[in-house]
């Protein structure tokens, strides 16, 4: 066998170079190259992926008989919602999130629920078998049919899975595994990539659903190379503030369901509980109307959600006034303030502006523009918005208000929760009136501001 060669693998894109460099030549990221040992290049027949490369003849799409993918509900409604209705046989799910947010808890609960009518296997590389058992006891879930394996060697795990043939296997976590084919340490790019690829292959061959827990880096992305997200079928992220008890599971990629689908949980002393009607969560309870607060109707996957946006505008004493957002995009705020100045004649150059989405929820859709500006105007003038008002709509650079997708559903959710006025883009105005909801449809920012006078 040839002597193993040292190569440098980029933690961002997974590209390799023979020499260390400060900048990855493939994706131009800095300081991402890590040393790994490349195993000798095998011949075609002995390659460990060779069994996977069974060749099939070229056919037309019409000749291929599609199979319905059976789904297995996990028994946790909110988790099933993000998965798109349950776990698909042979699917590989990667779930990431900050440490201590509840990944292990959620999957242990899901497995315990699934174990009632299917075989399940929990592979723990992070905690000892006793620790997992202790958690299960605390959760008060049935554990009689949950098989447990405390192991970090990939080959042993593959053997155990092939032998046990569970319907669902959970790997907690992918960063603790190592393959004895490689000499790199567990958690290194090459190990994570290899272990994920081998487990994916196993899932596809056997039809076992595999859920892998993944760690996230400092800036919240899944650790390991980006390729991990391409290998798996579904990528879920656990979000939420560890200081509050609410946890959001978001589908970031899903080959079997809608993306940006959101599952809402509350962490209790007996594990995670699904929250069926989350809109009320993201509204803070004010005794009376306060300034700087605007409720927005946002859409997360297939579900509308009402979220309160708060703004504080205060005179600045620094040469550079502060613009700060929590749960919203920071750069977008600067742009919106410029639009507000140009198209509504309101300047904020001598004001600090802080904007927050209540409840630790993160809103990335541009339909938050109008509510953000309304909250800012309300704070600036120290005047509350009209009672029972909700808003949504994208604000363009020319001061126009653009429609948001699925406006009807947002409006219906708002009416259901007792809101009485909706300030929305003209193009989203409903054809039939919605009971209890007065519609203020606007197409320009100045017209929207006019409504508040
Ligand atoms: P855990 O699932 O271990 O997080 P992760 O696997 O994502 O690192 O979650 C542990 C946290 O959840 C810990 O801070 C304690 C809390 N917790 C509860 O509040 N209630 C419970 O019933 C359980 C099991 C954990
Ligand atoms: Mg854990």
Distance between CA atoms of residues 71 and 233, nearest Å: 14
Phi-psi region of 60 (alpha: psi -120 to 50; beta: other; left: phi over 0): beta
Cβ-contact 103, 216 below 8 angstroms: no
Closest CA to 233 of 97, 94, 121, 96: 94
Nearest CA to ligand 1 atom 8: 100
φ, ψ at 375 (rounded to 5°): -65, -40
Indicate the top mutation candidate among 100, 131, 211, 223 to test ligand 1's pocket, ranked by most ligand atoms within 8 A of CB.
100
Ligand 1 in contact with 102 (CB < 6 A)?
yes
Distance between CA atoms of residues 443 and 439, nearest Å: 13
Q: What's the CA-to-centroid distance between 103 and ligand 2, angstroms?
A: 6
Q: What's the CA-to-centroid distance between 134 and ligand 1, angstroms?
A: 12
Q: Taking the alpha carbons of 259, 200, 191, 164 in that order, is the dihedral positive or negative?
A: positive
**Spans of the chain below 70 pLDDT:** 1-4, 37-55, 218-226, 242
Ligand 1 in contact with 175 (CB < 6 A)?
no
Ligand whose nearest atom lies closest to the CA of 107: 1
Q: What's the CA-to-centroid distance between 358 and ligand 2, angstroms?
A: 27
Letter string b/e over residues 81-92, b meaning 16 or more CB atoms within 10 A of that residue's CB = bbbbebbbbbbb
- Helix, strand, or coil (residue 172): strand
Atom of ligand 1 nearest to the CA of 106: 2
Tokens encoding 45: 């027949």
Closest CA to 376 of 314, 440, 326: 314
Ligand 1 in contact with 48 (CB < 6 A)?
no
Q: What percent of the chain has pLDDT over 70?
A: 92
Closest CA to 442 of 321, 324, 343, 323: 343
Ligand 1 in contact with 68 (CB < 6 A)?
no
Tokens encoding 162: 């092939």
- Distance set, CA 289 to CA 293, 358, 386, 387 (Å): 9, 16, 8, 7
Q: What is the pLDDT of residues 236-251, one digit of tens each?
A: 988 877 677 888 898 8
Closest CA to 264 of 234, 236, 283, 240: 240
Q: What is the pLDDT of residue 170?
A: 96
Distance between CA atoms of residues 187 and 53, nearest Å: 27
Ligand 1 in contact with 99 (CB < 6 A)?
yes
Q: What's the CA-to-centroid distance between 267 and ligand 1, angstroms?
A: 8
Distance between CA atoms of residues 15 and 348, nearest Å: 46
Ligand 1 in contact with 433 (CB < 6 A)?
no
Nearest CA to ligand 1 atom 23: 271
Distance between CA atoms of residues 266 and 339, nearest Å: 38
Ligand 1 in contact with 97 (CB < 6 A)?
yes
Ligand whose nearest atom lies closest to the CA of 102: 1
Tokens encoding 62: 């019409």
Nearest CA to ligand 1 atom 14: 100
Q: What is the pLDDT of residue 224?
A: 66
pTM, rounded to two decimals: 0.77
Q: What's the CA-to-centroid distance between 122 and ligand 1, angstroms?
A: 16
Q: What's the CA-to-centroid distance between 107 and ligand 2, angstroms?
A: 9
Nearest CA to ligand 1 atom 2: 102
Atom of ligand 1 nearest to the CA of 270: 22
Distance between CA atoms of residues 323 and 307, nearest Å: 21
Q: What is the pLDDT of residues 184-234, one digit of tens each?
A: 888 888 889 889 999 999 999 899 999 999 988 766 666 666 678 888 999
Ligand 1 in contact with 325 (CB < 6 A)?
no
CA 333 from chain centre, in angstroms, equals 22
Ligand whose nearest atom lies closest to the CA of 99: 1
| Alpha helical stretches, state H, 207-276 | 227-231
Q: What is the pLDDT of residue 1?
A: 47
DSSP for 139-205 reads HT---TTEEEEE--BHHHHHHHHHHH--SEEEEE-GGG-B-TT--SPTTSHHHHHHHHHHHHHHHHH
Distance between CA atoms of residues 275 and 247, nearest Å: 10
Q: What is the pLDDT of residue 46?
A: 63
Distance between CA atoms of residues 174 and 178, nearest Å: 9
Ligand 1 in contact with 270 (CB < 6 A)?
yes
Ligand 1 in contact with 267 (CB < 6 A)?
yes
Ligand 1 in contact with 322 (CB < 6 A)?
no
Ligand 1 in contact with 138 (CB < 6 A)?
yes
Q: Using alpha carbons only, give the angle 300, 208, 47 rounded to the nearest 5 degrees.
A: 110
Cβ-contact 390, 304 below 8 angstroms: no
Q: What is the pLDDT of residue 373?
A: 97
Cβ-contact 219, 5 below 8 angstroms: no
Tokens 């904007």, residue located = 355
Pairing mode, strands 303-315 and 271-274: unpaired
Ligand 1 in contact with 103 (CB < 6 A)?
yes
Atom of ligand 1 nearest to the CA of 242: 14
Indicate the top mutation candidate among 102, 107, 125, 247 to test ligand 1's pocket, ranked by most ligand atoms within 8 A of CB.
102
């Amino acid at each position: 066998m040839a002597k193993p060669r040292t190569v440098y693998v980029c933690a961002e894109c997974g590209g390799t170079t023979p020499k260390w460099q400060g900048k990855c030549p493939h994706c131009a990221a800095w300081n991402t190259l890590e040393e790994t040992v490349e195993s000798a290049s095998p011949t075609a027949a002995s390659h460990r992926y060779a069994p996977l490369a069974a060749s099939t003849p070229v056919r037309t799409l019409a000749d291929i008989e599609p199979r319905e993918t059976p789904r297995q509900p996990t028994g946790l409604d909110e988790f099933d919602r993000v998965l798109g209705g349950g776990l698909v046989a042979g699917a590989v799910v990667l779930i990431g999130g900050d440490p201590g947010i509840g990944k292990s808890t959620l999957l242990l609960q899901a497995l315990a629920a699934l174990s009632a009518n299917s075989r399940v296997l929990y592979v723990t590389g992070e905690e000892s078998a006793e620790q997992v058992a202790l958690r299960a006891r605390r959760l008060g879930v049935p554990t009689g049919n949950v098989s447990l394996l405390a192991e970090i060697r990939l080959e042993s795990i593959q053997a155990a899975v092939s032998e046990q043939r569970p319907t669902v296997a959970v790997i907690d976590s992918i960063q603790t595994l190592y393959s004895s084919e490689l000499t790199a340490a567990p958690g290194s790019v090459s190990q994570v990539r290899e272990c994920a690829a081998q487990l994916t292959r196993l899932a596809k061959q056997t039809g076992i659903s595999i859920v892998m827990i993944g760690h996230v880096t400092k800036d919240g992305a899944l650790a390991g190379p980006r390729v991990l997200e391409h290998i798996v079928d579904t990528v879920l992220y656990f979000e939420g503030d560890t200081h509050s008890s609410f946890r959001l599971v978001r589908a970031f990629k899903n080959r079997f369901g809608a993306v940006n689908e959101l599952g809402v949980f509350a962490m209790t002393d007996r594990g995670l509980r699904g929250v069926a009607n989350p809109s009320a969560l993201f509204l803070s309870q004010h005794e009376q109307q306060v300034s700087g607060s605007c409720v927005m109707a946002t859409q997360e996957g297939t579900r509308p959600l009402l979220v309160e946006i708060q703004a504080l505008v205060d005179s600045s004493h620094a040469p550079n006034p502060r613009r700060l957002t929590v749960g919203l995009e920071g750069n977008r705020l600067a742009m919106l303030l410029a639009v507000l100045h140009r198209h509504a004649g309101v300047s904020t150059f001598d004001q600090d502006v802080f904007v927050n989405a209540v409840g630790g929820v993160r809103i990335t859709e541009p339909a938050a523009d109008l509510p953000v500006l309304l909250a800012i105007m309300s704070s600036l003038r120290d005047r509350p918005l009209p009672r029972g008002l909700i808003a949504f709509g994208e604000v363009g650079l020319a001061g126009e208000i653009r429609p948001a997708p699925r406006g009807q559903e947002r409006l219906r959710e708002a009416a259901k929760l007792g809101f009485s006025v909706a300030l929305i883009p003209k193009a989203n105005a409903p054809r039939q009136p919605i009971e209890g909801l007065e519609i203020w449809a606007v197409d320009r920012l100045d017209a929207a501001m006019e409504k508040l006078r």
